[in-house]
């Protein structure tokens, strides 16, 4: 069985080495390179072809959000997991909306770090409970004005309004499900209802319809 190849990117090289040591305690993982910033990561991807890239969110030259966008644009098959000491919702949403598989705080346990890499490799979204709660709070921070506009324009229910605004903010169905603790099937049903009520055929049309009344 081939190992999952990981590229660790952090401007604090000692921390990167520590992460390498932790990850390689699991026999199914291999850290193929360390990088000091986004530019360095992009260069090393060509030679080491990682399956998963761990990216610090705050780095000089090219930060994790920009690096995620570049990596997913050029290598869409590579999974990106963001590492940070910050739980700022703007960073969370920007990184995930740029294609990251998830978000991990640097103080996470060794077992959680290893599991996160494996789960990302398998296509799962990585959102620790602390971060999921933060996203949920962001989703709940909907202004009454926006709610009223959407309710009047499309006769959406309270839950549909919440999900419509998350669609507008760029959440995927999986991220909506995780943040609101819904099954993906239930989320799809809500999204389909929003399509019908906004007279849309697809996600892009629905977002444009929502944007037009906000």
pTM: 0.63
Q: Is residue 76 part of a domain?
A: yes
Q: What is the CATH number of the domain that holds 175?
A: 1.10.10.10
How would you label 33-64 residue by residue, b for 16+ Cβ within 10 Å and e otherwise? bbbbbbbbbbebbeeeebbbbbbbbebeebbb
Considering the domain architecture, whether residues 72 and 101 belong to the same structural domain is answered as yes
Q: Is the confidence at residue 203, as pLDDT, over 80?
A: yes
User: What gap in Å lies between CA 10 and CA 109, rounded to an integer?
Assistant: 18
> Residue 206: which domain range?
142-213
Residue 80 sits at the vertex; the CA angle it makes with 204 and 173, to the nearest 5 degrees, is 35
What integer pLDDT is reported at residue 178 of this predicted model? 87
- The angle at the Cα of 190, spanning 176 to 90, to the nearest 5 degrees, equals 25
Q: For the residues 55-68, what does the mean pLDDT come to?
A: 86
Residues of the chain with pLDDT > 70, as a percent, come to 90
Is 174's pLDDT higher than 70? yes
| Judgement on whether residues 124 and 147 belong to the same structural domain of the protein | no
Q: Of the residues 128, 153, 185, which one is the last residue of a structural domain? A: 128
| 13 occurs within a structural domain | yes
State residue 194's pLDDT score: 97
79 and 110 within one domain:
yes
pLDDT in tens, 121-169: 999 888 777 777 766 666 555 456 788 889 999 999 999 999 998 898 8
In a domain, 137, yes or no: no
> Do 51 and 80 touch, CB atoms closer than 8 A?
no
Domains in the chain: how many in total? 2
Cite the DSSP H helix spans in 75-172. 89-97, 110-121, 129-140, 144-154, 158-168
Same domain, residue pair 64 and 109: yes
We report the CATH number of the domain holding residue 84 as 3.40.50.2300
């Amino acid at each position: 069985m081939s190992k999952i190849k990981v590229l660790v990117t952090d401007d604090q090289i000692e921390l990167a080495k520590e992460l390498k040591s932790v990850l390689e305690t699991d026999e199914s993982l291999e850290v193929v390179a360390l990088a000091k910033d986004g530019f360095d990561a992009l260069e090393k991807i060509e030679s080491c072809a990682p399956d998963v890239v761990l990216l610090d969110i705050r780095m000089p030259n090219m930060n994790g959000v920009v690096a995620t966008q570049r990596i997913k644009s050029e290598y869409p098959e590579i999974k990106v997991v963001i590492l940070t000491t910050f739980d700022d919702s703007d960073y969370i949403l920007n990184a995930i909306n740029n294609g990251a598989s998830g978000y991990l705080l640097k103080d996470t346990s060794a077992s959680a770090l290893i599991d996160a890499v494996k789960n990302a490799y398998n296509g799962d979204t990585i959102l620790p409970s602390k971060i999921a709660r933060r996203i949920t709070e962001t989703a709940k921070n909907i202004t009454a004005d926006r709610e009223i506009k959407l309710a009047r324009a499309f006769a959406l229910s309270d839950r549909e309004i919440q999900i419509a605004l998350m669609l507008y903010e760029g959440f995927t169905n999986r991220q909506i499900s995780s943040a609101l603790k819904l099954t993906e099937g239930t989320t799809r049903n809500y999204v389909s209802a929003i399509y019908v009520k906004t007279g849309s055929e697809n996600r892009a049309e629905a977002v444009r319809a929502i944007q037009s009344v906000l």
